[in-house]
A and B are shown apart, each in its own frame.
Chain A
């Protein structure tokens, strides 16, 4: 048989029907649901007199709107509360394989709870009304974000209408330097190919540097595939994948596990498979990254300076740079390490897993928040992550450093709850989007790794975490 890419294997094993123009019906194995993009879908379903096709495919949680403190007081914002209560009511009515409502001990960000509960498995198609669904591709599955019409479509038919994507391999070879993490790899990738570099492609991450990453690291990278324009990111299955899934609540057990693992081990691109495009990066040259602008592609290393639009030949790009600098309140040519921050956010579906918190705690240990930093929020990705971190004493490290230790949720990644930046405030954030107003109207976001965020928190400005010792 001809050598196939992982994407081709996943695609061909899910085609139910194909139209003459290539539009295909793809069967969906797992449907993750949260409160923001589902109410209109459930309403549409009901109005049309339809029922969900397979309720056991649904795993739901409330994450975007939930507060991260004072849980005893419930959700204060009435509009947020209504959205969360609407999800409660919808799931109560139709059912689900699992529902982790607000305050449940396994509640958390939808892209954190899927994998940690073994609800995301290799070989699956996974969808969610959220663009960062690409995260789940770290497990060798085909995972993409969908819109609300598609949420309704999947609820009603268990299928998605799709056209096959082209394939793009991002190959990262070599060994990462000390203090350089998965987040730096993916920011470097986006800096290289741009935010539209992956548009139209299914993106696979491969090479020895990716193989060497933990599942947490792979999820961080796949999470941001969408920031490079690719709807789906993925990594082939290997022993790291299998080991992570063993004994997870929804993972198979006994004979069924053995059978599954035998199949999963085939879920990688074959030797000699051809991709439509290949981009190669040398891991050893990647340095800690910091974004300077209002798009994830506006990124430099921490030892660089803020770029100068005067050096940009393309007028549309130049104007974009000028607008970004104005919004960000930055002067061209300022050393990145001289930029001071007002808040620090460690969390989001990009970087709120246990390994991320460990990396941040390693930097925070024995140090304390700089005086010019108004607040450092540490928001674990889920209740399970929170308890694990507490069992390891990480929360004590954070609290001793003057950081705040919060309840799980999306929090200041998009500031739909009460956690946000004030206008003009500058934030070192481990999230995935630095768009205008993303973390609060007028707020200024710089994307960094958890270690770099903690380093900014304790020094008050961006600093190469490797120099902190």
Chain B
């Protein structure tokens, strides 16, 4: 996994609540057996005027000019501003893969769906929960200011606005550590292999019917 430390990035505002994983990456693209290449189909139904199919040349498809991410001023955005309950719906990791492949490294919103939140960390994508008022203000500033960017410092757990205001955010110490270092969860867990083995042996003895 790519480590995440500090990012000074352009912000794009996606002003909708309950953006679900089917909207982030429509299901026809889930048939891939790979992890990468989902970026061009992120938000496919909103982003293009036609219906997307896997294996198309996406550069030739008609773009929806009304979709916010298609506006020239948001090209190259690395930070996505979102509303409540972003990432609700399925557990499919294709959603964070698509966002990451598109170029986002940070998501900022008032709340995220549980599984999506969790999946994001595992893919080097940092979801940041801020108060609804803070998020509202970021939306206002971002929409009002072309080239609006934010500085996100994971070690310091801060988001710094262009006007100098510093907003602190919470993050699990364990997740933070993993993301800062780009550690692979599996490797970390396998350091406890003896403990897992001991637990398993004990469980097998007490409840053999779970091990049939």
- How many angstroms from the CA of A148 to the CA of B118 in the assembled complex? 11
With A50-B186, A79-B54, A158-B200 already in contact, the answer to whether A124 and B114 are too (CB < 8 A) is: no
Kindly report which residue of chain B lies nearest to residue A157, judged by CB atoms. Answer: B189
The distance from the CB of B178 to the nearest CB of chain A, in whole angstroms, is 9
Q: Is the CB of B92 within 8 A of A148?
A: yes
Q: Is the CB of A130 within 8 A of B88?
A: no
Q: Is the CB of A82 within 8 A of B91?
A: no
Chain B residues near A25: list those with CB within 8 A: 189, 192, 195-196
Across the interface, A147 reaches (CB within 8 A) one of B18, B122, B175, namely: B122
Residue B113 interfacial (CB < 8 Å):
yes
Residue B123 interfacial (CB < 8 Å):
yes
Q: Is the CB of B199 within 8 A of A416?
A: no
Stretch from A3-11, A194-202, A382-390, A452-460 forming part of the interface with B: A194-202
Q: Is the CB of B18 within 8 A of A416?
A: no
Q: Is the CB of A147 within 8 A of B85?
A: no
- How many angstroms from the CA of A65 to the CA of B27 in the assembled complex? 11
Across the interface, A83 reaches (CB within 8 A) one of B22, B26, B33, namely: B33
Chain B residues near A230: list those with CB within 8 A: 114
Q: Is the CB of B85 within 8 A of A16?
A: no
Across the interface, B172 reaches (CB within 8 A) one of A27, A44, A54, A163, namely: A163
The distance from the CB of A421 to the nearest CB of chain B, in whole angstroms, is 13
Q: Is the CB of B31 within 8 A of A161?
A: no
Q: Is the CB of A36 within 8 A of B186?
A: no
Q: Is the CB of B85 within 8 A of A229?
A: yes
Q: Is the CB of A130 within 8 A of B33?
A: no
- How many angstroms from the CA of A65 to the CA of B32 in the assembled complex? 12
Across the interface, B27 reaches (CB within 8 A) one of A148, A199, A251, A416, namely: A416
**Chain B residues touching A, range:** 35 or more
Across the interface, A129 reaches (CB within 8 A) one of B31, B91, B96, B118, namely: B91
Residue B84 interfacial (CB < 8 Å):
yes
Q: Is the CB of A152 within 8 A of B186?
A: yes
Q: Mark A6-31, 1 if CB is under 8 A from B, else 0.
A: 00000000001101110101010110
Q: Is the CB of B89 within 8 A of A259?
A: no
Stretch from A284-292, A364-372, A436-444 forming part of the interface with B: A436-444
The distance from the CB of B133 to the nearest CB of chain A, in whole angstroms, is 13
Kindly report which residue of chain B lies nearest to residue A298, judged by CB atoms. Answer: B18
Kindly report which residue of chain A lies nearest to residue B176, judged by CB atoms. Answer: A21
Q: Is the CB of B190 within 8 A of A157?
A: yes
Q: Mark A67-91, 1 if CB is under 8 A from B, else 0.
A: 0000000000101101100100000
The distance from the CB of A34 to the nearest CB of chain B, in whole angstroms, is 11
Q: Mark A121-153, 1 if CB is under 8 A from B, else 0.
A: 101100001110100000000001111111011
- How many angstroms from the CA of A53 to the CA of B211 in the assembled complex? 13
Q: Is the CB of B207 within 8 A of A260?
A: yes
Residue B72 interfacial (CB < 8 Å):
no
Q: Is the CB of A86 within 8 A of B33?
A: yes
With A79-B31, A121-B209, A131-B90 already in contact, the answer to whether A231 and B200 are too (CB < 8 A) is: no
Chain A residues near B85: list those with CB within 8 A: 195-196, 199, 229
Chain A residues near B114: list those with CB within 8 A: 199-200, 229-231
Chain B residues near A199: list those with CB within 8 A: 85, 111, 113-114
Chain A residues near B96: list those with CB within 8 A: 147
Interface centre among B186, B200, B208 (most CB of A within 10 A): B186
Chain B residues near A123: list those with CB within 8 A: 207, 210
- How many angstroms from the CA of A56 to the CA of B16 in the assembled complex? 44
Q: Is the CB of A252 within 8 A of B209?
A: yes
Across the interface, A23 reaches (CB within 8 A) one of B23, B45, B174, namely: B174
Q: Is the CB of B23 within 8 A of A16?
A: no
Q: Is the CB of B22 within 8 A of A16?
A: no
B54-101 interface with A by 8 A CB criterion? 54-55, 83-85, 88-93, 96
- How many angstroms from the CA of A56 to the CA of B208 in the assembled complex? 13
- How many angstroms from the CA of A435 to the CA of B113 in the assembled complex? 15
Across the interface, A27 reaches (CB within 8 A) one of B92, B118, B122, B203, namely: B203
A415-455 interface with B by 8 A CB criterion? 415-416, 433, 435-438, 441
Q: Is the CB of B174 within 8 A of A19?
A: yes
B13-54 interface with A by 8 A CB criterion? 16-18, 20, 22-23, 26-28, 30-35, 45, 51, 54
- How many angstroms from the CA of A444 to the CA of B83 in the assembled complex? 23
Residue A402 interfacial (CB < 8 Å):
no
Residue B119 interfacial (CB < 8 Å):
yes
- How many angstroms from the CA of A147 to the CA of B96 in the assembled complex? 10
Across the interface, B18 reaches (CB within 8 A) one of A37, A257, A295, namely: A295
- How many angstroms from the CA of A68 to the CA of B69 in the assembled complex? 38
- How many angstroms from the CA of A339 to the CA of B23 in the assembled complex? 25
With A21-B174, A252-B209 already in contact, the answer to whether A147 and B91 are too (CB < 8 A) is: yes
Residue A341 interfacial (CB < 8 Å):
no
Chain B residues near A441: list those with CB within 8 A: 26, 45, 51
Chain B residues near A16: list those with CB within 8 A: 192, 195-196, 199
Chain A residues near B205: list those with CB within 8 A: none
Q: Is the CB of A82 within 8 A of B31?
A: yes
Residue A281 interfacial (CB < 8 Å):
no
Residue A320 interfacial (CB < 8 Å):
yes
Residue B115 interfacial (CB < 8 Å):
yes
With A150-B118, A153-B185 known, 12 other A-B pairs at CB within 8 A are: A16-B195, A16-B199, A17-B195, A40-B93, A148-B93, A149-B93, A149-B122, A156-B190, A199-B111, A414-B27, A435-B20, A441-B51
Residues of B within 8 A of A (CB): 16-18, 20, 22-23, 26-28, 30-35, 45, 51, 54-55, 83-85, 88-93, 96, 111, 113-115, 118-119, 122-123, 172-175, 185-186, 189-190, 192-193, 195-196, 199-200, 203, 207-212
| 14 examples of A-B residue contacts, CB within 8 angstroms | A16-B192, A27-B203, A37-B91, A77-B31, A130-B91, A148-B92, A158-B196, A159-B189, A161-B185, A196-B88, A199-B113, A256-B209, A295-B20, A433-B89
- Chain A to chain B: the 6 pairs with minimum beta-carbon distance, closest first: A39-B33, A252-B209, A145-B91, A147-B119, A147-B93, A149-B122
